[in-house]
Structures are given as structure tokens and as C-alpha cells.
Amino acid sequence: PSRTFHGNNRLLTSSIASHFESIIQGEKEVPEYFNFASDVLDKWTQLEKFFFLLCLLMFEGGKKPANPAFWWVNDKGEEVKWSFEELGSLSKKAANVLSEACGLGRGDRIVAILPRVPEWWLLNVACMRTGIVFFPGTSQLTAKDILYRLQASKAKCIVTDDALAPVVESVLSDTQFLKTKLIVGQGSRDGWLNFKELL
């Protein structure tokens, strides 16, 4: 399959397709350890930089590439666009928030009860980077559902938004493993770390 990459099709996809084709045919070994964030996202970041320079020199005369790695649009028409480099950099910052501010490490569990806002993807990729186990939950969960997930997963951290924070707080006395609460929102809340400020 050929995908247009910043206006130049086949330049990128042919090399990636041939790499994976050689793995499928047994010409290359499948890596023993695979991490999507470093083995895919960071490689695309390198390729994006290379092709941006190539486009700068040959085709587009200094324009930033038009195809984002991440493009989020909400129902109000607000957009967030990140290049591979921006997504990689932000996910590394998010990984630092989880590791340093939240004190989480490989194998620790985090429950994320968020609508599909950009931070949901950052946290997901940050968990891949660090080996933290990511448990997503829909924002339609009740207090009983949230408590069950926290107890069953033995999560050390929960991430939610302003709307669900009071629901989470209503079950905190029944949780024994939870150490950190992250909120994705504009304001502050007692006992919660603000993800956007830490990022």
C-alpha cells in the first residue's frame, strides 16, 4: 500500500513495506523486545525529519509538512495537530510525568477514565514507553464500575477529568493500592496533580 507522506508518495512507504515484507518472508528476525513508542513512533519521527529536509531541498521550498501524525477534532471544531516529532516529544514528557511525579514504574498500573481527548493518546503512548500497564475506561462508568476497576487492576494511579473527579473521590476510601490521582482539566483540585501543568 502506498500512502502519501507529506505530498511524496512511495518514498516512505516503500521502505517500510519492504522492511516488514522481509520480516514476513523470514529474511529478518522479529525483535525479541518490541516497544511501539520507540520502535515505530520514534522511527517515524526520524523519517519525518529526513523527508522534511528532503522536501525543503527539493519540493516544497520551506513549507512545514501538511500530514500530521495525530489529528484530533472535537464536536466544536477545535483541532489539535501534532507531527511525529511533536507526538514523540509530548509522549516522552507524559512518560516523565508518570515516572517522576506519579512515581510509577514498569509493571505498575494506571486507570484512565477520559473521553478521547488528546491527553488520552499521550498517556497511552507514555505507558508504552515506560512499561506501565494502561487500563482505559469510558467516561460513562459509574462509581461502582470505577471502584471495581481500581480494585481488580490494583492500579497505583488514576487519570480522569473534572467531570468524573467527584465520582472517583466517592470511592477512594475503598481503594488500597491507589497512590496518585491525575486530573486532565483547567483548574486544580485538592489531592490531585494537574496533568497539563506537569506536562
Please tell me the distance from the alpha carbon of residue 30 to that of residue 32, in angstroms, as a whole number. Answer: 6
What does the DSSP 8-state code read for residue 132?
Answer: P
The pLDDT, as a whole number, for residue 1 is: 36
Please tell me the distance from the alpha carbon of residue 76 to that of residue 25, in angstroms, as a whole number. Answer: 47
Among candidate residues 152, 178, 177, the one with its CA nearest the CA of residue 160: 178
Are 134 and 36 within 8 A, CB to CB?
no
Are 176 and 155 within 8 A, CB to CB?
no
Per CATH, is 70-198 categorized as 3.40.50.980?
Answer: yes
The pLDDT, as a whole number, for residue 33 is: 79
The pLDDT, as a whole number, for residue 69 is: 82
pTM of the prediction? 0.76
The pLDDT, as a whole number, for residue 35 is: 76
Greatest Cα pair distance in the chain: 62
Q: What is the CA radius of gyration of the chain?
A: 20
Are 171 and 143 within 8 A, CB to CB?
yes
Q: What is the pLDDT of residues 170-179, one digit of tens each?
A: 999 999 999 9
Query: Strands, DSSP E only, in 19-58?
Result: none
The pLDDT, as a whole number, for residue 34 is: 75
Q: What is the pLDDT of residues 129-158, one digit of tens each?
A: 999 999 999 999 999 999 999 999 999 999
Q: Which long-range contacts (CB under 8 A, 24 or more apart) does 140-143 make?
A: 141/113, 141/167, 142/167, 143/167, 143/170, 143/171
Q: Which residues of the chain have pLDDT under 70?
A: 1-20, 23, 28-30, 49-66
